Amino acid sequence: MPHLVAASLLAADFGNLQRDISMINNSKADWFHVDIMDGHFVPNFSIGTPVIEAIRKHATKPLDVHLMIEKPERYIHHFVNLGADVLTFHMEATVHVNRAVNLIRELGVKAGVSLNPHSPVSLLDSILGDIDLVLIMSVNPGFGGQKFIPSTIEKIKKLNQMRKNSSSGFLIEVDGGVDEQNALPLIEAGVDILVAGNTIFSSPDPEKTILNLKNCLNRAE
Ligand code: DX5
Ligand code: ZN
């Protein structure tokens, strides 16, 4: 499957949100990546219910919702009702991983689990057969515009090998510091979905940057 690009709205201009959503609608981006932070699991807040409703109203592409919240199982119904198409939570944020994954799937939504940079992929061993997606954080979650952690590439290669050795067909997504330089090595390591915030929204030509990420073209080349 050709890889996907998920545009992270965290880096959008919230004073011009409808404009930025239209740009993504008209671009070659595949998904809207929506970051939810609770000020506990990560030391920051992002957006809440009214803004997600506005995004859902205007977005014509799937919403890839990334929960960076403690005990995400409390809010699964909430985010499904708001229109999430993919719902991902952190392994580190709950002791009820299997319960949360089952609930998301029962509600007809794709279930993803995420790992912080320090969490080993071996944590996923007993859940790989039950999930649709693994989101590997390539920065410490909580903020956009951070520097990519290079050891992520090896981690993704390891996860890709685990996928090959298993019968499960989960997708691998990477989030944090993704740019036109590391896109190709990430795809070669096994990534299916590139999340990008700053790289897209700080570009003078965001649609072109999205196209470059889709084609793994490096502007500097
Ligand atoms: C960080 C978020 C990311 C963030 C990525 O905690 O999960 O989705 O928006 O932003 P960039 O691409 O700017 O690193
Ligand atoms: Zn994210």
Ligand 1 and 36: CB distance under 6 A:
no
pLDDT at 1: 81
Across the 221 residues of the chain, what is the mean pLDDT of every consecutive 10-residue run? 96 98 98 98 98 98 98 98 98 98 98 98 96 98 98 98 95 98 97 98 98 83 48
Q: How far is the CA of 200 from the centre of ligand 2 (A)?
A: 14
Q: Which atom of ligand 1 is nearest to the CA of 141?
A: 6
- Scanning the chain, the segments in alpha helix (DSSP H) are 17-26, 49-58, 76-81, 97-106, 152-165, 183-189, 198-201, 206-215
Q: pLDDT digits over 102-138, tens only?
A: 999 999 999 999 999 999 999 999 999 999 999 999 9
- Scanning 61-96, the segments in alpha helix (DSSP H) are 76-81
pLDDT at 219: 58
Q: pTM of the entire structure?
A: 0.98
Q: How far is the CA of 168 from the centre of ligand 2 (A)?
A: 23
